[in-house]
Amino acid sequence: MPALHWFRRDLRASDNPALDAAGRDALGVFIHDPRLEGVGKVRTRYLQAALEELAAERALIVRTGDPAQVLVELAAELGAGEVYCTGDATPFARRRDAQVAQALARAGVALRQIDSPYAVPPGEVRNGSGSPYKVFTPFYKAWLARGWPAPDGPVVATPALERWRAFREQALGAYKRDRDFPALAATSRLSTAMHFGQIHPRTILAEIPDATTNPFARQLAWREFCADVLWHQPQAVWSSLDTRFDTDMQYDQDDAMFEAWTQGRTGYPFVDAGMRQLASEGWMHNRLRMVTASFLVKDLHMPWQRGAAWFMQHLMDADVANNQLGWQWVAGCGTDAAPYFRIFNPVTQGRRFDPDGEYIRRYVPELTDAPDPHEPGVLAADYPAPIVDHSRERDEALARFQSLPPR
Could you tell me the smallest distance in angstroms from the CB atom of residue 250 to ligand FAD?
22
Could you tell me the smallest distance in angstroms from the CB atom of residue 293 to ligand FAD?
4
Contact, 60 vs 26, CB < 8 A?
no
190 is a contact residue toward ligand FAD (CB under 6 A) = yes
Among 41-49, 124-132, 315-323, 374-382, the segment contacting ligand FAD (CB under 6 A): 315-323
Contact, 374 vs 347, CB < 8 A?
yes
d(CA 188, CA 61): 31
Sequence letter at residue 347: V
d(CA 182, CA 341): 24
Sequence letter at residue 372: D
Contact, 237 vs 91, CB < 8 A?
yes
From the centroid of its chain, how far is CA 316? 9
238 is a contact residue toward ligand FAD (CB under 6 A) = no
Q: Which is nearer to ligand FAD, 67 or 307 (CB)?
A: 307
Could you tell me the smallest distance in angstroms from the CB atom of residue 314 to ligand FAD?
10
Q: What are phi and psi of 27, to 5 degrees?
A: -85, 125
Q: Which helix (H) or strand (E) holds 30?
A: strand 27-32
Q: Which is nearer to ligand FAD, 72 or 199 (CB)?
A: 199
328 is a contact residue toward ligand FAD (CB under 6 A) = no
Q: Which is nearer to ligand FAD, 194 or 302 (CB)?
A: 194
The torsion angle over the Cα atoms of residues 67, 73, 74 and 80, rounded to 10 degrees, is 110
Q: What are phi and psi of 84, to 5 degrees?
A: -100, 150
d(CA 166, CA 184): 15
Among 132-140, 313-321, 341-349, 382-390, the segment contacting ligand FAD (CB under 6 A): 313-321
d(CA 231, CA 226): 9
d(CA 66, CA 321): 23
d(CA 72, CA 43): 28
Among 21-29, 324-332, 348-356, 396-404, the segment contacting ligand FAD (CB under 6 A): 324-332
Could you tell me the smallest distance in angstroms from the CB atom of residue 156 to ligand FAD?
21
311 is a contact residue toward ligand FAD (CB under 6 A) = yes
Q: Which residue is nearest to ligand FAD (CB)?
A: 326
Q: Which is nearer to ligand FAD, 11 or 220 (CB)?
A: 220
Position among 126, 189, 232, 265 found at the interface with ligand FAD (CB under 6 A): 189
Position among 115, 242, 319, 354 found at the interface with ligand FAD (CB under 6 A): 319
Contact, 31 vs 65, CB < 8 A?
yes
187 is a contact residue toward ligand FAD (CB under 6 A) = yes
Q: Which is nearer to ligand FAD, 6 or 216 (CB)?
A: 216
326 is a contact residue toward ligand FAD (CB under 6 A) = yes
Residues 264-303 touching ligand FAD, rule: CB under 6 A, are 286, 289-290, 293
Handedness of CA 367, 368, 373, 377 (dihedral sign): negative
Could you tell me the smallest distance in angstroms from the CB atom of residue 342 to ligand FAD?
13
Sequence letter at residue 105: A
Q: What are phi and psi of 57, to 5 degrees?
A: -90, -40
Q: Which is nearer to ligand FAD, 74 or 293 (CB)?
A: 293
194 is a contact residue toward ligand FAD (CB under 6 A) = yes
Please list the alpha-helical segments (H only) found in 254-357.
255-263, 269-281, 286-294, 304-314, 320-331, 346-353
345 is a contact residue toward ligand FAD (CB under 6 A) = no
323 is a contact residue toward ligand FAD (CB under 6 A) = yes
d(CA 364, CA 360): 6
Position among 16, 266, 322, 335 found at the interface with ligand FAD (CB under 6 A): 322
d(CA 213, CA 362): 34
Residues 55-74 touching ligand FAD, rule: CB under 6 A, are none
Q: For ligand FAD, what does the binding mask look like between residues 213 and 232, x meaning CB under 6 A? A: ------xx-xx--x------
Q: Contact residues for ligand FAD (CB under 6 A)?
A: 179, 187-191, 194-195, 219-220, 222-223, 226, 286, 289-290, 293, 311, 315, 317-319, 322-323, 326-327, 330
